[in-house]
Structure 1
């Protein structure tokens, strides 16, 4: 049980958007074989696993259900334990839509296993995929008999994720009344107050934990360290670090968080000292993630030799994951070492593992930002030659690159491809879209103009009015905001937190 609580708490810090994974290990606890769905088969090739099939279908617009059904129809076996592991991995890598599909499919095939933990995961994923309103509908559809600490905790996470302060505080009060509030839920609220910049409420809630005898774990202290690091209050950060020493003194996370705070405050010498103190404390099982964090911090400090030293240590651990390559390429981009980043991309391509569009898209962004469109095009061509069709994000980057270089005919073509390959949730560069429409009007190409308008209205009605407003009344060029690094920033946010959060921690 202690290990379960620890891993649940660790998952709290997977990303900066308010503790989405806190309940992920509590679901699907029954590990019986889904005999109603699967029959055993010993003829399957060892490398043809269900996880491999599902993970290869990386396009968010594709459904996981046909793959699951095909697996069952072929007489292949899978236990709930295996499916739980797949679900956890998908959530870890932020494939929330696919995780929800797997979760829903599992629930539909195992009606006897609908437990509060299952519902908590379903609630969390529903919020991420369909929004807070749908998550609330799902919560109110759950019988009061099943609304235990897991389900309330999931709802609290949803509100915290959305920074819905009043609703989060109301749920927290309800959990206190039901005696459901423990260290984990207090940490959720502390994290939310930190994100909102409300240090007064943060300290008041921390004091409440002391008065009520609620255990303050290492994450409780690290949240406070992050809060003060983000507000450049080094004096209070150092005070909390000293106060926390008996609890977190042997934890690399605390010193890495402090290093991030010093870095933001411009105290580079102290930041390096914290990193040197953190590195020897990294546990063997945590080396992969720890090295990614330390590597990225050294990149932010501009210390290239240390970046490569940490990368070499990381490579010695074993097989590198996609997030490892994302981290290194992003770090080299911060150092303006695009040649080095290109070499890392080539290494990733050579290993031929699960494809991740974010990796080539990082360099495409960098080249487009610098006007090196030939190099960006070479990556896109390489993808297509390898049988990979670029996604909407790739084409959006290319469109913005062409727009910045005033190659509007190419920007229009890239925009059309982005729309054609887009899926719900796609966020285009509005100013680029508007500039393309403006260009088409000026060149009297109303067929293409109307096609874009119709397509956006059909596929993405939520942005249609904004685009029309830009096209009719605004000067698109004056509104151009360079968003090329958004995905790069989201990677950094996942590892270090948003601009207001300080550094977040992960398992």
Structure 2
């Protein structure tokens, strides 16, 4: 009885909140001088920390429960505050929490603007898939099917590889006489590129210019990409040259050209493009630095890779795992094993967060050199720390299968049951097929039975695999 009474009282207090919250959400608030770089007031930080902590990999409803608890305490909330949370959660790809937050404020009486509905549409597509996003879009009243929501759905189709659907949607937009803006033109050009119609990128670019809409870095990126797709390198270079005369060129356009030069083995031209990257990039941004590391490695230029690495380290106070990851990948590509070991040891002595991607690069490097004992020592160490992941399983299983040591590969698979704990893991169909092929060719009934037990323990034995296992019995004359 007491528990029921408490619950009723809690609901009574919550029921007062929607109108109050809806009223507050309607009140725009100016950002104060005390806001941080995220636009957060100091008083907003405690709640953000709570919802950020439960915004990924948790059951649905946790974020809403945190927000309800905040209201139970009669603490204030505003539209500016909640939407700042949504932006920050989205920035860190905590899409489930951001979507739940938008659902929560709408359920409590807030009217979402077309811009907020577009954000919600994008989040639905990322969390629940494109079909759910379509259903949400078509459920909106006509007045809410704005340029922003149409543009967002175009982008969703592009992200899900459904260019044809995006192009169909654009035809509907034209029928409704919705005038495209820069964002729509950019997304339309990207859809044509993904649909394998690069020539339509050019005509869309001309339409954009005739409409008096100025192009941006995304427009030019897709335009140059379309010329490259059509093997018209001269036209791509001409666009870049013309752009250099009238506006600052974004570094990503130079890396786009460098990538293409590398594919064509025009390494001299690639190096010139990468020098241009260094001249125009924002030195405080990490992305161009790691891109330079990777592309110089693809050029086979060890000297430039090491120079960029030293410059990167002197620019940033702390080297992030991402930087070490790309540098180690670059050194492995260059087959500079000595430097790779040195950088790996540097990471081991300085990292703040363990990263199995970095560990797996070192494992691959040891296996490449036939240093199996070293690779196994790392594997055993990570297992002892409970940090094993599916990448490690696949690296070792495939290595031993390549060496025809199927028993060792099966032992690795057996370890996965207890060691890959982040989520339920199952081996890929390709990996399963490699095991089955060996057992069939060697007519190894005892081996395939052990493999069968391993698949059962991983809870991934399906009918197709079982039929393939039976084939080994047939070939061995054990039917």
Please give the range of the TM-score, normalised by the shorter of the 2 chains. 0.7 to 0.9
Instruction: State whether residues 371 and 401 of structure 1, in contact with CA within 8 Å, keep that contact through their aligned partners in structure 2.
Output: no
**Residues 154 and 169 in structure 2, CA contact (< 8 A), matched pair in contact too:** yes
Instruction: Report the secondary structure of 1:353's partner residue.
Output: coil
Q: Alpha carbons of 1:218 and 1:448: their partners in 2 closer, same or farther (altered >3 Å)?
A: closer
Query: Do the aligned partners of 2:293 and 2:330 also contact (CA within 8 Å) in 1?
Result: yes
1-side partners of 2:457 and 2:395: how far apart?
Answer: 22
Asked if the contact 1:394–1:418 (Cα under 8 Å) also holds between the matched residues in 2, the reply is no
CA distance, structure 2, for counterparts of residue 473 and residue 400 of structure 1: 22
**SS state of the match for residue 389, structure 1?**
coil
What residue number does 2:412 align with? 414
Structure 2 match to 1:3:
none
Could you list the runs of 5+ residues in structure 2 that have no partner in the other structure?
1-26, 32-41, 473-479
Which one of 121, 127, 144 corresponds to residue 142 of structure 2? 144
Confirm or deny: 8 A CA contact 1:31 1:81 kept in the other structure. no
Distance 1:307 1:450, change over 3 A: same
Deviations 1:367-389, CA, capped at 9 Å, x for gaps: 4456544333233333334x342
* Residue in 1 that maps onto 2:433: 434
Shifted more, 304-313 versus 122-131: the winner is: 122-131
Residue 96 (structure 2) pairs with residue 101 (structure 1)? yes
Q: Of the candidates 155, 164, 167, which is equivalent to residue 166 of structure 1?
A: 164
Query: What SS is found at the alignment partner of 2:132?
Result: helix
Deviates more, 1:338-347 or 1:302-311: 338-347
**Secondary structure in 1 matching 2:92:** helix
Q: Does 1:83 align with 2:78?
A: no
Kindly name which structure, 1 or 2, has the bigger radius of gyration based on alpha carbons: 2
Asked if 1:275 is matched to 2:277, the reply is: no
- In 1, Cα distance between the equivalents of 2:377 and 2:161? 41
Query: Aligned partners of 1:257, 1:50: CA distance in 2, in Å?
Result: 41
Q: Which residue of 2 aligns with 1:449?
A: 452
Residue equivalent to 1:7: none
Q: What residue number does 2:199 align with?
A: 200
Q: How does 1:169-184 map to 2 (within 5 A)?
A: 169-176=167-174, 177-179=176-178, 181-184=180-183
- Kindly indicate whether the alpha-carbon contact (under 8 Å) linking 2:393 and 2:412 is maintained by their aligned counterparts in 1: yes
1:95-494 equivalences in 2 (<5 Å): 99-111=94-106, 112-113=109-110, 115=112, 116-176=114-174, 177-179=176-178, 181-230=180-229, 232-286=231-285, 288-318=286-316, 319-368=318-367, 371-385=370-384, 387-418=385-416, 421=420, 428-437=427-436, 442-443=445-446, 446=449, 448-450=451-453, 452-453=455-456, 455-457=458-460, 464=462, 467=465, 471=469
Q: Displacement, 1:305?
A: 1.1
Contact 1:124-1:135 within 8 A present in 2 as well: yes
Deviates more, 1:337-346 or 1:396-405: 337-346
Residue 62 (structure 1) shift: 5.7
2:186 and 2:97 map into 1 onto residues whose CA distance is 29
Decide whether the 8 Å contact of 1:403 with 1:432 is kept in 2.
no
RCO higher in 1 or 2 (8 Å CA, sep ≥ 6)? Answer: 1
Aligned counterparts of 2:45 and 2:122: Cα–Cα separation in 1:
37
Tell me how far apart the structure 2 counterparts of residues 135 and 428 of structure 1 sit (CA, whole Å). 31
The alpha-carbon deviation at position 300 of structure 1 amounts to: 0.7
Query: What secondary structure sits across from 1:124 in the alignment?
Result: helix
SS of aligned partner of 1:266: coil
Match of 2:15 in 1: none
Deviations 1:85-115 (A, max 9, x none): 5423322xxxxxxx23212331344234562
Secondary structure of the structure 2 residue equivalent to 1:123: helix
Contact 2:293/2:308 (8 A) holds in 1: yes
Q: Secondary structure at 2:226's aligned position in 1? A: helix
Provide the alpha-carbon RMSD of the alignment. Answer: 4.1
Name structure 1 gaps, 5 residues minimum: 1-28, 34-39, 92-98, 459-463, 475-507
Q: 2:117 touches 2:149 (CA, 8 Å); kept in 1?
A: yes
Checking the alignment, whether the CA contact within 8 Å between 1:262 and 1:270 is kept in structure 2 is: yes
Distance 1:53-1:181 versus aligned 2 partners, 3 A rule: same
How far apart, in 2, do the equivalents of 1:113 and 1:31 lie? 16
Give, in whole Å, the separation in 2 of the partners of 1:285 and 1:30.
Answer: 33
CA displacement at 1:67 relative to structure 2: 8.6
Q: Provide the rounded CA distance (Å) in 2 between the counterparts of 1:276 and 1:372.
A: 37
Q: How many residues end up aligned between the 2 structures?
A: 421
Give TM-score, length-normalised by structure 2. 0.73
In 2, the alpha carbon distance for the partners of 1:469 and 1:107 equals: 48
- Mapped to 2, the partners of 1:367 and 1:114 lie a distance apart of 58
Please state how far the C-alpha of 1:405 moved relative to its aligned partner. Answer: 2.1
2:268 and 2:348 mapped to 1: Cα distance?
37
Match of 1:497 in 2: none
Contact 2:64/2:104 (CA < 8 Å) preserved in 1? no
Q: More deviation in 125-134 or 402-411?
A: 125-134
> Residues 298 and 210 from structure 1, CA distance in 2 versus in 1: closer, same or farther, beyond 3 angstroms?
same
Normalised to the residue count of structure 1, the TM-score between the two structures is 0.70
**CA offset at residue 192 of structure 1?**
2.9
Superposition deviation, residue 455 in structure 1: 4.2
- How many Å apart are 1:314 and its aligned residue? 1.2
| Cα drift, residue 306 of structure 1 | 0.7
